[in-house]
Amino acid sequence: MTTLVVIVAIVAIVLIFFGGFVQAVQWLIWVGIILLVIAVILWLLRYISGRSNTSV
């Protein structure tokens, strides 16, 4: 689960930067923001629940 959150966060950050540099695909900014918010929510749920997943 942690790996998935990290991948989603990285993709979100890349999309935010890509959308900021290229005006033709400015909608990617919103996709990146939405993915970043989802990653933060998933991380918070995992952090608040206190469960530790030892599997990779």
Question: Which pLDDT tens digit goes with each residue over 35-50?
Answer: 889 998 988 998 888 7
Tally Cβ neighbours within 10 Å of residue 15: 21
The whole-number pLDDT of residue 23 equals 63
pLDDT digits (tens, 9 = 90+) for 3-32: 888 888 888 888 777 766 666 566 777 888
Return the ∠ at Cα 46 (arms to 41 and 50), rounded to 5°. Answer: 145
Is the entire prediction scored with pTM above 0.85? no
CA 3, CA 46: separation in Å to the nearest integer?
12
